[in-house]
Structures are given as structure tokens and as C-alpha cells.
Amino acid sequence: MNTRMEHDTMGQIAVPADHHWGAQTQRSLENFKIGGQRQPREIITAFAYLKEACALANQEAGKLTSEQAGAIAAVCREIRAGKWDDEFPLVVWQTGSGTQTNMNVNEVIAHLAGDRGVQLHPNDHVNASQSSNDTFPSALHIAAALSVTEQVLPEAERLAAAFKRLEEAYPDLIRIGRTHLQDATPLKFAQEVSGWRELVEAPCRMLRAALPELEKLAIGGTAVGTGLNAPRGYDEMVCRRLREMTGADFTPDENKFHALTSKDALVFAHGALKALAANLMKIANDIRFEASGPRCGMGELHIPENEPGSSIMPGKVNPTQCEAVTMVAVQVMGNDAAIGFAASQGNFQLNVFLPVSAYNFLLSARLLGDVMDSFRVHCVEGITPNAEKMADNLNNSLMLVTCLTPKIGYEAAAACAKKALHDGTTLKEAVLALGYLTGPEFDETVRPEKMV
């Protein structure tokens, strides 16, 4: 491998000649060969937004020339476009402040600008008015906010819309309800689907409520929150540029001592992601149980048959999309635990669990966005009810007895239900045998369409 020599304050080190990073990136590569999980692409994109905004703010404050700021901005736009993805090889499991990733970005920007004739120092120019201690928390919040608005919410809205269409397609279909995994009183299929829809929509409202806190940034706090070496008003200058670039309402955190050491906004926002995951788990379980069969299960729903389900049982088809949803839900719940533990570990003026927090939050957002899209396209949009099976179960249910309670009382109604179950007869036969109602009276009273 061809190399070139780079230096930092610790001396010289050989760097691959065909890459644009510098000495600190190379030291991190050599010192942290752990796991292989690279910094999320969303973090690099967020840094590219942040570094461009910082450069333009530094130009506004007179700390960079227009040529220097312009060169940084041009490279940052290319990074966001994905042109230089191979230049960001560092793993998650590094320094807890993310310093090496901050320097990786600084070094790549400086080298690429130098290739175009603008000489920049990664610290003095690209990192001007900044510290890793305020840039990584800021990039983390930028990435988290954008992942919610660009990955999670759009897919959740599409999934909710698919449920809305299913709900509207069968407005009058009645099915038996179930509570405690036992028969309950009837409801409309559309009513059940409306519950699934709201299980998606409610966490979306929670996510939107979390965004204002995620959009508060630590930038301008520099090393410990005092803003040392940053111009007055720098934080607002940076956030103004970020608002222009992203359309998100990024603002300076008014208390930088809080912003550098606390990850409470991340915990709160990820709690909404966990709520969404929990609700998706419930929806997927409902659908796969109601579609179970095809002959020996509930069989009240038909779901798309996407692929063979067994290597030994011919013709078997499984609810695989539901299974993918539930696995993602489990992963998100695990990620939530990691984020909570990490957020509790802020010591003095800095939390040094930032890369692991970023990794877990962004993994959750990416997984939820992807699985909702897959679940919608390959399952939900193809769901059809088995109306005949629903009618059979409805008419065979003993819990229709509930509507008799006002006429014959709770204890008499219970006796009818128990007799029907014991004798293996219909509810009507039991009621008539016990003499509580006549046939016409039963037929007039037990009408499922009036029970929903």
C-alpha cells in the first residue's frame, strides 16, 4: 500500500496515499479496531451541515476569508452528496466524545480543499470557534432530528394512510372482539383497524413534540460550555445557517453547560421511537395471529403470500413481514436501554457516551423507517378480511350473551353461556332451554350490528 507521511502534535504517521484523511484519523484507525461498526452515515452528513454552517459563521465573524469559508462549504456539500463516503472509516467504539470523528471530518475537508488550491489547517480553520465537545453533540442532535423528520415520520404517515384505506374499505364488517385472548363482545373490523392506525399516529405526535428539544444545539459552548475562543453570537450565526440549509428549526441551547453534559432530549425522543416500536409490535402480532392458519388457526385475515415458509413443509407460507416488524421492535427496545444508560453517564462538564448514543438512536430510526415501508408494501396493503370466517366466529361466540344482561340479568346470562359451552349447543338453544326468552325475543335482542 502506498503511503504518505502526515503529522499531528504527537509526531508523524503513515497514511494511505489514496485517502484524504490525516494523522488523527489514522491513529484512531490503528488504536480502535473494535467491532467494525462505522460511524453512521447520518452523523457524517450532520457534520457536513455543521462544518459548512460554522465556516460561514466564522466568515461572518471575520475569522475566515470568503475563500476559506467557500472551500469548506463546497467540500461539505460534496460530503452530503455521498461523494466521499470512503473517507470516513472510523468506528463507533472510539473516544466517548467523538473527537476522532470530528477530526476525521476536519482533516478530510482540509485535504480536499488543499487539492483545490485553498490551504486550510484542520484545527485552525475547519475547526475554528469549535471543540469536539460541542460539535459532536450538535451533529448528534442534527442527525437525530433529521432522521425523525426524513426517515421515521414519512414512513409512519404512509403506514397510517394504508390502515386508513383498509378501514374505509370495510365500513360495515362485524367481527367478534377478544380480550385476555378470550372471546369478547363484537366490534366492526374498521374499528379495530382504526386502532391500528392510531397506534401509528399517536407516537408520531410524540416525536413531533420531541423535536424542539432535539433542535437545541450545543454549538458555541466549545470545550466546557463557556464558549472560549468562539465569537459573541456565534451559536446563533451557526444555527441561522443550519435553518437555511435544512429547513429544520435549529436554535442554540441557552445553557451550554446542560447541552454538553446531558442527553435528555435524546432519551425523550427515543422514548417516542420506543413507543412506536411497541405499538408496531402489537399491530404485527394482531395481524399474524388473526391470519394464522390457513386451516387450524384463527384465519380471519388473508395476508400476502410473499415467499415459501419452510425448507421441509411444502406449501407452507409464514407471516414474515410481521416477524420482521417484531424483531425491529425488540432491537429498538434494546437500543432504548443503551441510550438511557449512556445519557445517565455525563460526568462534570461532558457526556462521553456520544458515539454509542448516536449509533443506537440512528439505528432505531433507520430500522423503523425501513420496516414500516416494508410492512406496508408487502403486507398491510394486501390485507383482506375473511368475512365468512369472521361471521362464523361471530355467530358462534358465547359473548353475544352480554346484550341479554339488561333483559335477564348478569347471573342468568352467565348461566346461559355456561350451559351452551357445557352442552356444546348454541347460545340461543341454551337460552330457550332455560326458559329465559322465546325464540323471537332472542332474535330481536341478540343482534351484533346493534352491539358495535
So which residues are the catalytic ones? 180, 310
Report the distance separating Cα 443 and Cα 452, nearest Å.
17
Task: State the sign of the Cα–Cα–Cα–Cα dihedral 79, 82, 83, 86.
Answer: positive
Q: Give dist(CA 338, CA 390) in Å, integer.
A: 43
Residue 369 grid cell? 423507517
Cα separations (Å) of 354 from 60, 98, 139, 176, 382? 30, 7, 10, 49, 41
**What grid cell was written down for 215?**
433542535
Beta carbons of 123 and 222 less than 8 angstroms apart? no
The span from the CA of 452 to the CA of 446, in Å, is 12
3-state secondary structure of 185: strand
333 Cβ neighbours under 8 A, 6+ residues apart: 274, 277, 278
Nearest residue to 396 via CA among 360, 367, 425, 363: 425
> Cα(273)–Cα(200) distance, rounded to whole angstroms?
11
Which pairing describes strands 11-16 and 3-8: parallel, antiparallel, or unpaired?
antiparallel
Integer Cα distance of 96 and 86 in angstroms? 22
d(CA 383, CA 280): 16
Our measurement of the distance from residue 430's CA atom to the centroid of its chain's CA atoms, rounded to an integer in Å, reads 52
Q: Which three cell numbers stand for residue 355?
A: 458515539
Specify the 3-state DSSP secondary structure of 301: strand
CA distance 250 to 247: 9
Contact predicate 259/214, CB 8 Å:
no
The owner of cell 466521499 is 84
Contact at 8 Å (CB) between 428 and 441?
A: no
Residue with cell 473527537: 99
Q: How far is CA 335 from CA 27, 139, 362, 386, in A?
A: 29, 19, 10, 37
Count how many Cα atoms sit within 13 Å of the Cα of residue 279 in the half-sphere of its side chain. Answer: 22
What is the Cα–Cα distance from 98 to 452, expressed in whole angstroms?
56
